[in-house]
Amino acid sequence: MIAVVGSVNLDLVAVVGHLPRAGETVIAVSQQRSHGGKGANQAVAAARLGSDVAFVGSIGTDLVGSELVDGLAAEGIDVSAVSALHGASGVAMITIDQHGENSIVVSPGANGEAVLGGDARALVADASTVLTQLEIPMQTVAEAVRTATGTTIVNAAPAARLPTELLAATDVLIVNEVELEAIAGSGTPVAARALGVGIIVTTLGGRGAQVVTANDVAFVPAPQVAVRDTTGAGDTFCGAFAVAIDEGLDPFEATARAVVAGSLATTRIGAREAMPTRQQLDDTIARLG
């Protein structure tokens, strides 16, 4: 079972001709209201690929919170360890341009107060794989990783310096290029290895991903797709990677599957709308040869 410890948000998406500059107002050509949050998105990505998934996080006591939990449950995700905190749920405001690039502002709400309660702690300890991110308090991330007995995967997003003790307890670190430089001071394999994590996977956008271990460095190219929206592609990558690791694949095989899954997620508007099912991912991989 994969336990995902992280954030859950309501996403408000506006599609524009170009991303606004400082002080500029632009008129959206369309808008969309959907469910998001890095943690919840990654949980959905893993569930769509057929894994047994539980989500650990916090919602507010507003109507949005109930809606967000219902959305996760509808994906077959165990939401028994989701806690309700007084106040507002998290909201993300996303602007997407005609090339699929995005700009995101997140209001954390209850995510900013998320803690690992007793039921959540037991669930995390029982999981074979634990996946977490940085849209919840760092101490909660660290506690989840310390509590885990299975494989621990930390997606260090948004970019932040990670405590040494958290890195020491992490089996796999997933970052993009900006995040790796923020954590390691450089994007080189040497700098990545100096973090002391056994496996560091760096996503490279449309180019693919790079895997660094103690003895190897491998580049995994991405397939060419018609990009419409990059929102959620990184979350899809993380969820797919966690599924592959949980199923016993090595980090290089897991990255190869995750790269294809992340690419598929850019082909439609919305964070979750284009997340592939297991059949869609397998069919695409087979077609790519």
The residues annotated with a catalytic role in the active site are 235
Residue pair 34/268 in contact (Cβ under 8 Å)? The answer is no
Q: Torsions phi, psi of 160, nearest 5? A: -165, 155
Residue pair 142/165 in contact (Cβ under 8 Å)? The answer is yes
Please spell the DSSP secondary structure of 36-66, one letter per residue.
E-HHHHHHHHHHHTT--EEEE-EEESSHHHH
Q: How far, in Å, CA of 91 to CA of 197, rounded?
A: 32
Residue 184 neighbours by CB under 8 Å, 6+ apart: 191, 192, 194, 195
Q: In which region does residue 195 sit, left (phi positive, over 0), alpha (psi from -120 to 50) or beta (all else)? A: alpha
**If you count them, how many residues does the chain have?**
289
Q: How far, in Å, CA of 77 to CA of 213, rounded?
A: 31
Radius of gyration of the chain (CA): 18
Single out the residue of 212, 180, 186, 181 nearest to residue 199, CA to CA.
212
Q: How far, in Å, CA of 266 to CA of 289, rounded?
A: 20
Write down the H helix ranges in the chain: 38-48, 63-74, 118-126, 138-147, 164-168, 177-184, 189-193, 233-246, 251-264, 278-288
